[in-house]
């Protein structure tokens, strides 16, 4: 059974979803590759979803740089490798699809890596927004490029403050 709730954020209302194993979804409105919680159960009091909401609030206040939530990432073995590597990208840092492909041992698979990143079911927590094109330009984001631009600028601004 998947439980879900909605949570307000600076980027719009987020849908948070959890299985018995952990957080399994974090979606924006009009999120690509997500059709909605058809057979899920709404549960605003679910403990993990409440913890997720709290950590997201801390993140958006600039008080949290890493999430400490149990995750239930569901995907192919290749997608799992891509998503696990995403979680190693530090707050405020960026990478490219090509570098990400090399880091998982699939140097010629930048397009496949991009597709796997686009299917990341737990945005923000699994920071797919930190991956850019090789030339540094924004490319693809299931929540929309404006949200990706916001998240990158948000983290960059807090990196500068911390260094000062």
Any idea which residues carry the catalytic annotation?
Answer: 128
What is the chain written as a DSSP string? --EEEEE--TTSPEEEEE-SSSEEEEE-TT-TT----TT-EE-TT-HHHHHHHHHHHHHHTT--SS----B---S-HHHHHHHHHHTTSPTT--EEHHHHHHHTT-TT-HHHHHHHHHT-SBTTTS-GGGEE-TTS-----TT-HHHHHHHHHHHHHHHHHHH-
Interacting residues of 92 by C-beta distance below 8 A, sequence separation 6+: 65, 155, 156, 158, 159
Using only the alpha carbons of the chain, give its radius of gyration: 15
């Amino acid at each position: 059974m998947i439980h879900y709730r909605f949570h307000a954020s600076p980027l719009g209302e987020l849908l948070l979803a959890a299985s018995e194993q952990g957080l399994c979804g974090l979606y924006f409105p009009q999120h690509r590759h997500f059709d909605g919680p058809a057979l899920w159960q709404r549960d605003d009091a679910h403990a993990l979803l409440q913890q997720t909401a709290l950590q997201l609030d801390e993140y958006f206040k600039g008080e949290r740089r890493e999430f400490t939530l149990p995750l239930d990432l569901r995907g192919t073995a290749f997608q799992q490798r891509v998503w696990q590597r995403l979680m190693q990208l530090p707050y405020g840092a960026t990478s490219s699809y090509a570098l990400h492909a090399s880091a998982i041992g699939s140097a010629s698979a930048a397009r496949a890596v991009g597709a796997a990143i686009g299917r990341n079911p737990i945005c923000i927590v699994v920071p797919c927004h930190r991956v850019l094109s090789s030339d540094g330009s924004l490319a693809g984001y299931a929540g929309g490029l404006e949200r990706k631009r916001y998240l990158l600028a948000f983290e960059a601004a807090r990196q500068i403050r911390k260094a000062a």
